[in-house]
Chain A
């Protein structure tokens, strides 16, 4: 392979780019994260909530953003674009331009005075034009970096040479009109592209009247309206009369599944975000009626159908299978929708507001970017990648993730991002990392009297504009054990931090309290500073006087100041009780265990071995390949070739140890130190390894429905595919073939979509049609879910004359045998066709059932061994459905493939690579540090009742049945405190947040109240 580099470039800093950067950085690589806009974060910050859990989008993203900003291995280049990449994989030279920001990021303190005084007011892109911004601005409050930048096309001085007001008002002297674009050249081993997508702009769709009718908005506009941090504070109002809407219509597939504009693909996410918006809107406005006009509801992801059912049932969202052809505005601002029902009837419906569920399309700059990077785009303008190499671009060494190579939702973007990393490390130099040595020796303060230093931050006007900062600092001087107190302009600026370190030295301080913004973003920074001053980092406490005082009580400055004093008082009281905490190192065994050698397992094993790690690949069957063995077609690709190649690769790779016909008997241990017992018919053996990847797959549902088993003519899609391949159909005279979708899926006891069956039916029907054009094919379906680019095959099949008949759960097709006594009997299918509005009967030669995908029963046992949970359907449940799609709350265990949820070949491969990549973030370290703030057990109080064991999400506490007390596994404990709250015997405590420390803080607050009364 030749050259390898330690540097890597990630283009685009949305959630995919962020995830890729974090994974790479955690492996010890130097990451250059290149972003065109002025902040990282991408689309996610604009969204209100996320489906299907209704988590707040910004709340789950913000920690990842700050992790990215803080990571010593990540360099963020904002306002930058790549202009050229030359050279070869492992040794690329990337050229980029970092555009002028006109604000010195080192000096800027994000106080916001400049934007307040800027005379220019333009539509704010982040808030979809629902709010104005200045020519100097930042995208949103939590933007990273947080510094302001100047929009050179809008700035009066830069365009007309007048103004410079910002320069005058800036207290930090950060404005720099001399700033110039800089050309940067980087040596990188690989490039990961994650430049994302644009939302479709419906301005060209005159019949929907967007921008013409004020009460017609896009889904992205609506997200901003719903968002509590949005321009309306979460209060949805229609633009025409500022009234709260009583009814909202959502129109699906605006800019998707539309050949007339060249978008013959499904945008994959819109059904779900429309359902989410409909639900959230109903939660915001009691009594609101929301209706969704759709063609097919494509709730194909994990737990999406349950969400869809919830919307229909619990929330009463109205779903109307109908195509909207035109919107007209009525006099009162309401909108009249002309729509066509399934049976061809035209109806009109009136709504207060209309939300257009706009599709996803390639970024405007994608053509330029493709040219600069010399990569190819596909027919729709997305980055081109191959079904069997889903994360590779057309150029070796450049990889793609997120929605850039196809519309995707958040978890899949995250998955592909991690997956692309696993591909990219092939050209990167991985060295196992040591735990960084402490640069400064730690002072021993045990037994010393507390000497507390308090610092109060102005944060420009952010805090000082409301809170009397000097008064708070003065107040703290009189608190017990406070040796020094002062106010600082920006506590987090380098010079102020130097001041603090100096004061620690001068006054012999051994506890530090900083009253400032929020520990969420700044605690790690301040802890590091304290550490640099020779104190244990846990001897630091923060009083949150920005979020909780100056922001929350903006209009009551006096009370805000009082509250700041209280918080300071509490902080000091707690600081008095603080003790140094240690983070124990946990050694990491560099070997890996992959359970299951289907496509996902083999792909993951290969990726880990490529990165230089030994892998134990365990398969319970005698053959490798799992479900892939039964797949013969993948449109233009041959899955059997893929299977052969994978088997060859894992068999010949010296780092992969194959165990066939082998079962997992037992797994003990924890991250870095697992011990697994394998069992074959002949013997048992024990393996030691650092991580586990679960790739146990899933199985075909054994149906009893539709007379399956009664005639050789009634078969499953899997059986049909094999017949197509071998040509041995039960009859020579094939005239009619009927397929029924959703056999077992999306029903009471299996309320999920099996995801692949629609595409499989389309694929097999296409193959059949191409071989035998005269055969009539019928597909009975509930919703056709050919998401993404699969849509084009659906269109193709329709054009070839396949009949698609929609049925509902209460009107399932009825099946009878033509001759009950004939085991090879033809089959009569009776089905209600809503288009013809009557029942139709087909005598068919083959009835093909798209049976559901079932979780494996063995999952239960394996889940227990690894202490990881399953969802209600028996599939493995990841740590977070959106942002940690292959991880578990338990460190060191990952999931990939069908064991996670039904998925297609490309998706399984991407997820397998993602699991490998996440695993590498551990395996590539020699040791990791356990948390310092972890739970401890008071042995003399513990009764071993096991409440804590039940409650711990990380399986970090366990009752030792012999000693009858709970034992904390310090490697696993994350210090969440749930066990402490659960313990009725008060035998548990959390280091750094002990009862004693917290009660001291509360008592201090109560004492203040007495004095004040």
Chain B
């Protein structure tokens, strides 16, 4: 049974009060949230322990400067409790990392929300989003897709409450509602000034937008033929890759200390170049740009939580996220696996079953 906070205050204010209370009462030693860096509209993720500095935070600001899952992975395990306000995809990324020992859930109080999506980093850099913010929040209230958000957000279906401790219902709500969904959250907020009452989140409020997003996903996925287009099809998609490996850098699931594709193993010497040249008659330089994406696809796509960071940072405007999300969902689907759904849900490649895919032979 979950509880709802009984208040009519603006949601940002309630959330700030709540975070302040947690910090004041020493239930947590720090708050992890988006915050304003300056007056010019720059935001980043920050870890805040000083109550005075809590005024800077902008926890629901529709910008993702980095996937928070990746950031949280970097500073866990922690011995002190922290409350983190993160988007569902960021929470799911952290769940996937936790399964791989790249993070630990202990000592976290997680706040997630039904997310209306984030703006493109390009628009953010060019300072174009200020004008769009009102429209954005309007569409969130109406439960519609805003036209300027990431493609990945437009197609995202993971906005219902997850296994977080606190869930904020934003989409379709005039003013957001805060649900305490874990015993831990209820206990920590026992002394909080706002009263609570028993209430379950009614997910039908998301039906309309989920339907719209599903249709959008179908449309986006239909443009990407990952099944039978072969090498030529892949070149069509990744041909513009400049080999900057930016997608790898921002990907929360790419946690390797040194990516093999950045290592000497792909630093070919002249004879090998010669050989490739002799075989193919022509050679693309730098080599292995396509191989890099295939490698990443096989290493992480089934854990892809579809945050869209990769597409957003791609200078060549390759729809990386759409390809990875589609491939990932299709492969994971064969194992009834959903990335980031549950920390106890083992990753398919780590489970050994004597009989799998018997239709493919022994």
Query: A residues within 8 Å of B by Cβ?
Result: 314, 940-947, 950-951, 959, 961, 964, 982, 984-987, 995, 999, 1003, 1006-1007, 1009-1010, 1013
Contact = CB atoms under 8 A, between A and B. Distances in A.
B265 A945 contact: no
A945 B102 contact: yes
B39 interface: no
Given A947-B350, A959-B101, A984-B299, A1007 B271 contact: yes
A821 to B, nearest CB: 44
B8 interface: no
Contacts of B300: 984
B255 interface: yes
Given A947-B100, A947-B350, A1010-B275, A940 B258 contact: yes
A985 B101 contact: no
Interface string B261-292: 00101000001101100110000000000000
B349 interface: yes
Contacts of B350: 946-947, 950-951
A987 B358 CA distance: 32
Contacts of B278: 1010, 1013
A925 to B, nearest CB: 32
A944 B103 CA distance: 11
A1010 B100 contact: no
Nearest to A965: B257
Contacts of A1013: 278-279
Given A943-B100, A951-B352, A985-B257, 13 more contacts: A941-B256, A943-B257, A946-B100, A947-B100, A950-B350, A964-B101, A984-B299, A985-B256, A985-B259, A986-B256, A986-B258, A1006-B272, A1007-B271
A509 B259 CA distance: 38
Contacts of A987: 257
Nearest to A1013: B278
A945 B101 contact: yes
A946 B255 CA distance: 13
A945 B100 contact: yes
A918 to B, nearest CB: 25
Nearest to A869: B352
B101 A995 contact: no
B349 A947 contact: yes
B272 A1003 contact: yes
10 residue pairs, one from A and one from B, having the closest CB atoms: A985-B256, A945-B100, A986-B260, A950-B350, A984-B299, A1010-B278, A1010-B275, A946-B101, A941-B258, A944-B101
12 contacts: A941-B257, A942-B257, A943-B255, A945-B100, A946-B350, A947-B100, A964-B101, A995-B265, A1003-B272, A1006-B275, A1007-B275, A1009-B275
Contacts, number: 63
Interface residues of B, number: 23
A985 B258 contact: yes
A995 B279 CA distance: 23
A868 to B, nearest CB: 15
A855 B278 CA distance: 63
Contacts of B259: 985
Given A941-B256, A951-B350, A1010 B265 contact: no
A999 B269 CA distance: 13
B73 to A, nearest CB: 10
Given A941-B258, A942-B257, A943-B255, A1010 B274 contact: yes
Nearest to B361: A283
A926 to B, nearest CB: 36
Contact of B255 (A945, A961, A1006): A945
A199 to B, nearest CB: 29
A961 B260 CA distance: 23
B4 to A, nearest CB: 38
A985 B271 contact: no
A468 B152 CA distance: 62
Nearest to A959: B101
B255 A940 contact: no
B244 to A, nearest CB: 20
A986 B265 contact: yes
A946 B299 CA distance: 14
A420 to B, nearest CB: 32
Contacts of B258: 940-941, 985-986
Nearest to B351: A950
Interface string B293-315: 00000011000000000000000
A961 B256 contact: no
A940 B100 contact: no
Contacts of B274: 1010
A916 to B, nearest CB: 30
Interface in B220-261: 255-260
Nearest to A54: B362
B260 A943 contact: no
A943 B279 CA distance: 37
Contacts of B358: 314
Contacts of B272: 1003, 1006
A940 B265 contact: no
Contacts of A986: 256, 258, 260, 263, 265
Interface in B98-119: 100-102
Nearest to B274: A1010
A1006 B258 CA distance: 28
A951 B256 CA distance: 18
Contacts of A1003: 271-272
Nearest to B268: A1003
Interface string B311-341: 0000000000000000000000000000000
Most buried by B among A944, A945, A984, A999: A984
A985 B275 contact: no
B294 to A, nearest CB: 13
A314 B258 CA distance: 46
Contacts of B102: 943-945
Nearest to B346: A950
Contacts of A995: 265
A1010 B263 CA distance: 26
A1006 B269 CA distance: 14
Contacts of B260: 984-986
A1003 B272 CA distance: 8
Contacts of A961: 101
Contacts of B299: 984
A315 to B, nearest CB: 11
A1007 B269 CA distance: 12
B279 A1010 contact: yes
Contacts of B349: 947, 982
Contacts of A944: 101-102
Contacts of B279: 1009-1010, 1013
A985 B258 CA distance: 7
Contacts of A1007: 271, 275
A951 B348 CA distance: 12
A961 B104 CA distance: 11
Contacts of B100: 943, 945-947
A946 B99 CA distance: 9
Contacts of A999: 265
A514 B134 CA distance: 77
B257 A940 contact: yes
Contacts of A951: 350, 352
Contacts of A940: 257-258
Contacts of A1009: 275, 279
B256 A984 contact: yes
Nearest to A985: B256
Nearest to A944: B101
A689 to B, nearest CB: 30
A940 B263 CA distance: 12
Nearest to B296: A984
Contacts of B255: 943, 945
A1010 B255 CA distance: 38
B50 to A, nearest CB: 30
Nearest to B298: A984
A951 B350 CA distance: 7
A999 B100 CA distance: 29
